[in-house]
Amino acid sequence: MRSRVVSALIALVGALLLVSLFLHLVPGDPVDVMLGEQATQVDRAALRRAVGLDLPWYAQLWTFARDLGTGELRTSLPPFQRKVLPALGAALPYTLLLTVAAMAVSLLLALPLGVMAAARRGTPVDAAAMGVSVAGVALPRFWLGPVLIIVFALKLDWLPVSGAESWRHLVLPAFTLGTALAAFLARMTRATMLEALREDYVTVARAKGLSPRAVLWKHAFRNALLPLVTVLGLEFGALLGGAIVTEKVFAWPGMGTLLLTAIEKRDYNTVRATVLLFTFCYVLVNTLTDAAYAWVDPRVRRRS
């Protein structure tokens, strides 16, 4: 437990240092965003002192950490320096909802597809399933999102284009985000199922006269789950990263939209805080993934 806490702290500190370094390396000046390029040097210097941009980067980082710890962290630029934590608290549920919905879409598509391909290995069903998975991996999200908007929102008028007023607004971004993961998971499910179907306990189950469905789902599938749990924990971070672009495409009011808006405005404090929250969510999910091993595979409980 102690090692996990130390690893989580290292990940959070490393993410904070890296994002702070990159913010100071990217072109653009927050003062120009606020005052415009025609502002005088006197006005520029006054604004820098007012918001602390005249301090060295490590001093700015310390100020950020102090304000974050006290809950007084505010957006970087005046005139309306709003608190950052309430904005993060409002955006986080939307991102988590989108990520969970995308994960559900990917599992509903991938697991039956992968199991079916493994059970009918070498048949046209297997070839078709793997062809669909390859196509899903090859389709980029920034292209798939607009295509889904054109087809289902503009042409068919079945679903709304953007916003988050109802569950109908969640369908298109969830499918956009979950499709690529579903394609990858389908191939992973097929590979793990093929390995499980070659094990001795499957042969014994068949020799006992169990039905093919029972052998496939009760015996082979459960033992093939452990590698999938590992992949799901790792791919959660990919879903969070993909949510940044997907939220922007569908105007979904989550952390991705908040992060991109903060980057455009050079709002350093909001960028740092959002990246830290992304990192924390990723570390938390990986910790929960480790705990899920014991639930999926009793052998892990006995070893621990």
How do the pLDDT tens digits run along the chain, 304 residues long? 677 777 778 888 888 888 877 777 776 667 666 666 676 777 777 777 777 777 777 888 888 888 888 888 888 776 567 888 898 999 999 998 999 899 899 888 888 888 888 888 888 888 888 887 777 777 777 788 888 888 988 888 888 888 888 888 999 999 888 887 888 888 888 888 888 888 878 778 788 777 877 777 877 887 777 777 777 777 777 777 778 888 888 888 998 888 888 888 788 888 889 988 888 888 887 777 766 666 656 555 555 5
| pLDDT at res. 94 | 92
Structurally, how many domains does the chain consist of?
Answer: 2
Residue numbers of the domain that contains 27 = 1-85
* 240 and 137 assigned to the same domain: yes
DSSP per-residue letters across 236-269? HHHHHHHHHHHHHHTT--SHHHHHHHHHHTT-HH
Q: Are residues 175 and 294 in the same domain?
A: yes
Residue 46's alpha-carbon distances to 187, 206, 299, in angstroms, are 58, 79, 64
CA 248 from chain center: how many Å?
14
Q: Is the Cβ–Cβ distance between 141 and 216 less than 8 Å?
A: no
Q: Would you state the pLDDT for residue 101?
A: 92
In degrees and rounded to multiples of 5, residue 73 shows phi and psi of -65, 130
Query: Is residue 118 located within the same domain as residue 72?
Result: no
**Amino acid of residue 94:** Y
Residue 296: which CATH number?
A: 1.10.3720.10
The reply to whether 74 and 216 lie within a common domain is no
Residues 160 and 244 in one domain: yes
Contact 175, 148 (CB under 8 A): yes
CB 142 within 8 A of CB 245: yes
The answer on 147 and 70 residing in a single domain is: no
Q: What is the pLDDT of residue 295?
A: 63
Do 140 and 236 belong together in one domain?
A: yes
Residues 133 and 108 in one domain: yes
Other CB atoms within 10 Å distance of the CB of residue 186:
27
The CA distance from 255 to 244, in Å, is 7
- The answer on 149 and 10 residing in a single domain is no
